[in-house]
Chain A
């Protein structure tokens, strides 16, 4: 077993464990903080995949913006957060069943998929700059400039919509 494999196993176990705590803990601020731990684990997985840009953006966007926003929202709806009463609905066993079934289905599908056995990561070509290639792909008319622009319009719409919905009219 190589060092990379050991790191992956530790990180994956940590990520999944914190993800389980996120969905089960009754204290919502703790849930948001465990979400940070999960997201950090995913960032390490991106780094293991040589996707450095995604790893850093994961920390900037998810931990720096989304997780902080969650903590703010939990604090603004504070009366709910100390409520250690019923945090799950009546059908929690059904939900667990669906989740396990989904995982089993995905695992079974992966077992039978032929593309998996032959897949091996080729070494990155010498001098290949994945950040530069990503930047080119995002703004090249032959590649993904349209999804990129649509995403920016979506962000603008979300910005306007969030301010409008949450604005407290006096």
Chain B
């Protein structure tokens, strides 16, 4: 088949990758849905979890459960060690300089809210500007709109071309002395576009503007090095990278985090409290008020262990090959249009069918056990850019196979047949 889209083929020599062995690690993939084997292509919404993660969380509850950072007893020590060990695993995984730059949060959404509430509210004043892009998820739009209404700041939007790529030249011209922050998505959850964040950060830094990167869809599909990117904040979720729900990370540069006021307040984030004055705890605890999702943190640590234990480079290459295979296969279907044809793409393909609504595509595919996402993907402004009310989206993980893509294509032909 001809590579009819301008998508780069992997340049490195393909590494052997035993996808069947990986599939064995994910118990849920054995499910039968509507009498058919599950074909899970909704990984951008949430990924499945390997047994190692599920076991680690079970083990935590069975053998270690206790509250952290406050007990002198054995289990409390054990739980604290497991939780803090997870922080260090994550620090190493994203190559942060210090463990206290890794703040545990509920997920990407909370990470961005933390920055908008603490950094934004503390540093922005009326007339200031922040820059976001046209392909942001609602979670990187709405927190800034709330702040805009509160502080009277302006939000400027980096436009995109019809392939779904940001206009970097226009972005470069958006800076002025009022620009206070860039908040941009690393990989679009709808288009799959990989934005050139390193270059964008460099441009922002030339203008002395810090950058927050929404990495929810990037961390699961590539190795992210926060020091190499030189990003000021980087937000991601555990559950999209084969980890548990309800836990995620805000990476922030030490000097920025130290200068920021707390986001939430309560236990664990204080050093001393009297009714006259409260002294805040050191990083990272200053931003981790209350009892955290300890099992979630432990689970996220187990995810990193899992990623390190498999050949992750080979897994990423496998995903990339799948995306190319799927793109080519989908384009053979008459009346199918792919939304998002950027040169640099990650593992998500949005598409629409002529005269058939994505919602109907989703229901009919589900009948064959094929799980995809349909709708606006929490990116309504982006839907408007492409003049579609919604799209269907197939998104891949390390355990997906070519056979599953074939099932998807077959399923789409069935959709077309129902409506013919």
Real complex partners, A and B? no
